[in-house]
Amino acid sequence: MGGQSGVIADFSRFEEITLTYNVDLMPNHPQTEDCGDGHGAFKLRGALNAVFSLDEKQATNGVATHSSGNHAAALALAAKLRGIPSYLVLPNNAPQFKMDNVKRYGGNVILCDPNMKSREETARKVLNETGAVLVPSSNDARIISGQGTVALEFLDEVPELDTLIVPISGGGLISGVAIAAKSINPTIRVLGAEPKGADDAAQSKASGSVITLSQTNTIADGLRASLGDLTWPIVRDFVDGIITVSDIEIIQAMRSCYEILKLAVEPSAAVALAAVMSENFKGNPDWKDSRNVGIVLSGGNVDLRYLWESLNKM
Ligand SMILES: Cc1ncc(COP(=O)(O)O)c(C=O)c1O
């Protein structure tokens, strides 16, 4: 999808590691060209795949979802491109500019309380009232396969990658990436990157069953969801480990993205760069042989006011 990619740095202890990056901030899908708009996250891949795989009858009443923002905007855009209505349930604490994105694409925004129970209840009500089809943000085969194109393109551009680091929340992105990457190169290492304040995937991997958190606390507003019954088995069996990082490390990584790459990367994406720079990765003996590390910088929807405030607090 025409992202930028290249080598950004060699990392201290691993003199041999070439750190590569793949940024997909303006997906170049043929159907998005007319709209002339940068959606700002990988989520459009899965949303387009899901919306365009509905038959005419299924699509009649539109699509609906609950999401912290990026998937909602992607679904609104995909629905607009297909010419069908969309209904997006967003937590009332979602960043304003993410809500604006959804509205810009013609989506109908319905606010709910910022917890999973309220999100699910409100979405159920919307589905009953509208007859729309639910398109989950990650726990959905169409979404997983759409997100998997990230790995196909990354490995196509940089075939020598031996490790991929991927932000994880509901697990749609990393599931698609792990399946696609390991089907091309079964020995490739796929690692999740997660904020310490929403470390349900790390806890799930450690305990061997899905852990959901009643509360999360992180600047990475896109990474507060939990694994589902489709994504969990894929994460359990194909993801080689989860690296957790603090919000301070995420903010530092965002800063590096600006200073070194000249890129606007949101916290939920910078988490992957933070993971690579962390001792949890560099000091892990199991991963010492990682040489060519690909980092999925998954979105650029940054609330600049919030970012400046965070940087000033450091
Ligand atoms: C920018 C960004 N990166 C990564 C993710 C994680 O994706 P997934 O929920 O498929 O794990 C999200 C989810 O919203 C996101 O917004």
| Whether residues 81 and 148 fall in one domain | no
Does residue 217 form part of some domain?
Answer: yes
Looking up tokens 């507003």 gives 221
Amino acid, single-letter form, for residue 253: A
Does residue 36 form part of some domain?
Answer: no
Looking up tokens 């600049």 gives 304
Helix or strand or coil: residue 150? helix
Residue 209 domain boundaries: 4-27+142-313
As a whole number, mean pLDDT of residues 153-160 equals 94
Number of domains in the chain: 2
Q: Give pLDDT, residue 300.
A: 87
Percent composition of the chain: helix, strand, coil (DSSP 3-state, to 5): 45, 20, 35
Q: Give pLDDT, residue 153.
A: 92
Q: Is the pLDDT of residue 189 over 70?
A: yes
Q: Using CA positions, which residue lies closest to atom 14 of ligand 1?
A: 222
| Whether residues 51 and 197 fall in one domain | no
* Ligand 1 first shell, C-beta below 6 A: 41, 68, 70-71, 137-138, 167-174, 222-223, 225, 266, 268-269, 298-299
| Whether residues 284 and 205 fall in one domain | yes
Residue 288 CA to residue 267 CA, distance in Å, equals: 26
| Residue of 42, 101, 200, 296 to test ligand 1 pocket, by largest number of atoms within 8 Å of CB | 42
* Nearest ligand 1 atom to alpha carbon 299: 1
As a whole number, mean pLDDT of residues 223-242 equals 96
Residue 174, exposed/middle/buried by CB under 10 A (0-12, 13-18, 19+)? buried
Ramachandran area for residue 40 (φ above 0: left; ψ -120 to 50: alpha; else beta): left
Does residue 167 form part of some domain?
Answer: yes
| Whether residues 222 and 126 fall in one domain | no
| Whether residues 98 and 81 fall in one domain | yes
Q: Give pLDDT, residue 96.
A: 84
| Whether residues 201 and 111 fall in one domain | no
* CA end-to-end span of the chain: 35
Neighbouring C-alpha atoms within 13 Å toward the C-beta of 135: 35
Confidence class for position 39, pLDDT limits 50, 70, 90: low
| Whether residues 111 and 156 fall in one domain | no
Q: Give pLDDT, residue 20.
A: 39
Q: Give pLDDT, residue 7.
A: 37
Q: Give pLDDT, residue 48.
A: 94
CATH for 129: 3.40.50.1100
As a whole number, mean pLDDT of residues 250-270 equals 91
How many other CB atoms sit within 10 Å of the CB of residue 229? 8
Question: Ligand 1: distance of its center to the CA of 174 in Å?
Answer: 9
As a whole number, mean pLDDT of residues 11-20 equals 34
Confidence class for position 307, pLDDT limits 50, 70, 90: confident
Please tell me the least confidently modeled range out of 22-31, 242-251, 275-284. 22-31
| Whether residues 248 and 159 fall in one domain | yes
Q: Using CA positions, which residue lies closest to atom 10 of ligand 1?
A: 172
Tokens of 130: 């509208």
| Whether residues 97 and 205 fall in one domain | no
How many other CB atoms sit within 10 Å of the CB of residue 279? 11
What pLDDT, in 10s, does the model give residues 98-156? 889 899 999 999 999 988 889 999 999 999 999 999 999 999 999 999 999 999 999 99
Q: Last residue of some domain: 137, 161, 190?
A: 137
| Whether residues 18 and 160 fall in one domain | yes
Does residue 164 form part of some domain?
Answer: yes
Residue 42, phi then psi, degrees to nearest 5: -65, -15
Q: Last residue of some domain: 113, 137, 161?
A: 137
